[in-house]
Chains A and B, each alone.
Chain A
């Protein structure tokens, strides 16, 4: 039996995603966790390519790797003990963690099992950018605008929290 190469590549990508996600979760070094997100984000972008979602894949890399990952790294590196290279994140309470994890796993399994997965037989590799644009400015205009407003509110909130009040 011959395994098609795209199946092999898919499992390789899946391995990268899950493996680096495991490093994110289990690494004792918080900077290693942050850098491992690179594999997760990049791998998810590759999964989007498998689904024929070219625009989403590029945006995934642009926003998550180029933006969010860098911001996470900044946040980690601006903490005061960062010059100590052996910085670790302590485990706080094994039992609550296990309980929270089990509950979350249950919810996920329930959701996955309960979903009627409509699987496309053939993924159509065709340009999606124009279709996404039309949907955003047509059918889904309201959710799109609400998301934009939510982001704006978050930005203003961050500025309000972080700025120093200058009196007189």
Chain B
């Protein structure tokens, strides 16, 4: 498949630019064009629709309607917002540090968009399967911290500076439990490559790393919580706490520059889901045969199915993040730090060492333990749903079951 794509690119370069420029320059141009196309055709709509969906889901949770005017159910709201923000004046405060103020959104955005390089959407649908994939991901997403600090400082505004400092402290702290949870998975898979990590798992839930043993189940929660904190999501959104800091580090930004920060934030939500899916939920893995059809014989159907499976799994976590944002209050700064350093870092270490010990006992994993972990999780979910149903039955709230207004 790889050589076919390379031949295709070669042929395209030859056809479009016959002999005018060297092939290497052609490759570089093609790479830039592809990046541009992916950015406009996939990432921008993804972040946009996520922003709309978040506002709708949130509105339903708060008994409101939410944006429903532009397009069917308001699904084109993000386009209207984009057009509006492009038309707005780009205000730079007179006392701001002009150069850094202008540069900051690009650095945040670069850190976010760089993550898409290693996200595996299918068994061959990955921009670059780096053999240090997950390490690259941790590295490139840390670029956003610098951009946020830059925005906070260059605005020359106390709220912005406080927001930037809070955000940086939070991201740097929560990188540690996140990194330890990732390390747990790396020990299981024995590789840093995103595709390698997925290939080390199976399509069935008991083959996923989340249910590998009880420690990885906890590590999964550690990772998802720290990822939410690194993405500045509620309940960890103190860097832009509206009631305290106006809007934190984005206070002084307006128009398209403002939108760039939020573009990165909403897009980052999907990146979080994608990483979680890759590390813990088996990624794009599908059964080798479905209803007696051998998937290897139908490459296109296989690719589409893999993409669908991966996208559904990762978008589920976007919805979970929205749900969390709609239900949990914001934590205080001291609570945030105490939670990270006093609870999550030690728990992540326990998960790491527990997994190592179990790996020594059962080098190839223990199917019974995996099944037991899966069963326990299913029991918890069933109990949770039963409790919710019980609450609804006994409190007799007026359920309004018409989702479309």
Contact = CB atoms under 8 A, between A and B. Distances in A.
Interface in B107-147: 107, 130-132, 135-136, 138-140, 142-143, 145-146
Contacts of B28: 5
Nearest to A6: B24
Given A31-B153, A70-B146, A129 B192 contact: yes
A83 B161 contact: yes
A65 B153 contact: no
A158 B59 CA distance: 48
A61 B142 contact: yes
20 contacts: A4-B24, A5-B27, A31-B153, A35-B146, A35-B150, A38-B146, A54-B132, A61-B143, A65-B143, A66-B172, A70-B146, A70-B172, A74-B165, A77-B149, A77-B165, A82-B161, A83-B161, A127-B131, A129-B131, A129-B132
A2 B21 CA distance: 10
Contact of A5 (B22, B138, B165): B22
B111 to A, nearest CB: 9
A71 B145 CA distance: 11
Interface in B174-215: 175, 192
A70 B149 contact: yes
B234 to A, nearest CB: 23
Interface in A69-95: 69-71, 73-74, 77, 82-83, 85
A97 interface: no
Contacts of B63: none
B100 interface: yes
Interface string B82-115: 0000000000000111011000000100000000
A28 interface: no
B156 interface: yes
B168 interface: yes
B158 interface: yes
A18 to B, nearest CB: 19
Contacts of A127: 131-132
Contacts of B140: 61
B320 to A, nearest CB: 26
A117 B169 CA distance: 42
Given A58-B135, A77-B161, A70 B168 contact: yes
Interface in A10-60: 31-32, 35, 38, 54-55, 58-59
A62 B142 contact: yes
B158 A83 contact: yes
The size class of the interface chain B forms with chain A is 35 or more
Given A65-B143, A74-B168, A55 B132 contact: yes
A75 to B, nearest CB: 12
A58 B143 contact: no
B131 A54 contact: yes
A67 interface: yes
A104 B99 CA distance: 32
A31 B104 CA distance: 14
A6 B27 CA distance: 12
Nearest to B110: A42
A6 B143 CA distance: 24
Contacts of A35: 100, 146, 150
A66 B140 CA distance: 9
A142 B207 CA distance: 38
B25 interface: yes
A66 B139 contact: yes
A55 B135 CA distance: 8
Contacts of B165: 74, 77
A70 to B, nearest CB: 5
Nearest to B156: A85
A58 B137 CA distance: 9
Given A54-B131, A58-B136, A73-B168, A66 B175 contact: yes
Nearest to A56: B132
Contacts of A55: 132, 135
